[in-house]
Structure 1
C-alpha cells in the first residue's frame, strides 16, 4: 500500500474583478498548489495573495504556466512551436518565482496548464521544450507531468525530478490520456465516484477508463481542480478516505 500521496490543486485563477475557484476553502486540505501566472488566468495581485495563502498554510507553491489565452482559459489548442513553449514557460515560472521570493517563500514545482499540459503530454518536442525551460530556470524544481506521458521522460532527460500526476475529477481514455472536456463523462462530479477512482489509482496503480478498460499508471501526485463547484467537499472526502486507509497527504 502507498503510505502517502501529494494532493495538488490549481489555484490563483481569478482575474481583476472576476473571482474563480474556492481557494481559501480548499487550501487547508491540499499539500501543493499550482498557481496561474497571468497568461491563461490570474494577475499580479492574485498571484501574490495566493502565494501568501499557500505559505500561511504550509502548502508547497508551484507555477502553473499556460498558453496566452485569457478568453479561452488556456484550454484551447494553439499552434505554438517548441521555442514558443520554452519562452512562455520561462517567463511565467520566472514571474511566479519572483512573487514567491517577495513573500518569503520559494517555488517547489511546475505544472503546465490546460492545453499546454495536454499538448506536451503527447508531443515529444513540446515536452522537451517545457522540461528544458523548467530546468533552465531552476534545475531543483519538480516537474508535475501526466502519468505515463512523454512529458515524464522529457523531464527525466532534462535532469528534473518528476512527479507523475493523476486526476481525481477527470475520466481517462484507454491510452492513459484524459477524456477531452467537451466529451460526455469527462468530468467526475460525484464525490464518491471520485474517491473510488483515486483509491484505485493510489493503491492499485491502475484506473478504469471511460470505456471500462483498465489502464496501468503511477500516482505520485493527485490533482483536484479548484474551479469545481464542490472542490472543498471533494478535498475533505478525499482526506477522510486517505485517513481511513492509512494514506498520508504530503508534498512530493
Structure 2
C-alpha cells in the first residue's frame, strides 16, 4: 500500500505534455475540474473521461501507474457508494428488505460521484506526473505574481508547496524503510484487532517524525549555506517562456470548457 501512493511524484517521459509550460497545465487542469462540477450527467462525465484518457495516452504515462494512485482512496470510494446507495432517496424502488431501501436514483448518484472523484484524482495527478516540483513552483509563482502588488508573499507560499511535494515521496520511502526494519525485528503490522494495529502505528510515526524533522533541518542548513533570503529578488536558471504549443493548449482548454457548458445545457 505504501508503494501505491504516487501523489506528488514525477514520471519522466519525453511527451508533448511534459514539454508544456507549467502555467498552461495549471490552467488546463483548473478548467478540467470546473467542467467536472458543471453537471451531474453521466454523458458529461463520459466526455471528460475520453478527454482524460486521450491526455494520458499523449503524456506516455502508463495507465497502470495512473490507476495505482487510486488504491489508497478505494476505501473512500466504497464509502461514497455505500452512503449513496443505501441512504439515497428516489422514486423508483429497486430493492427493499426491512429497513433497507435501494432506489435507482441512489445508485445513479453513487455512480456519478465515484466517477467524478476518480476523474478528479486522475486529472489532477496527471499534472504532477508531467511537471517537476521546480516547474510547478515557477508556474505558480508566475501565475500569482500580480498578488505581490497587495503584499502577498507569493514566492514563499509557492516555495512551501514545492518543498511539500518534494517531501511526500521522500517520506513515503522513509516510512517503507521503517516498516521493513521493524518487520525484520518481528513486528507484524497485519496481526491483531483494530486497537492493536493503532497501537503499533506509534512505533512507525515517532521515528518517521524524527526523520522528517532531521531532513527539514538539513534542508534549512543547505538553504542558508546557499545564502537564501526570503523576500529578495531571485533569478531563474530556466525562465518560463511560452511556445506555440502552449497557445494551442490554451485555446483547446477554453474550447473544452465551452463544449462542456453547451453539453450541460443540452443534457439538462
Q: Rg larger in 1 or in 2?
A: 2
TM-score (norm 1): 0.26
Bigger share in helix: 2
Bigger share in strand: 1
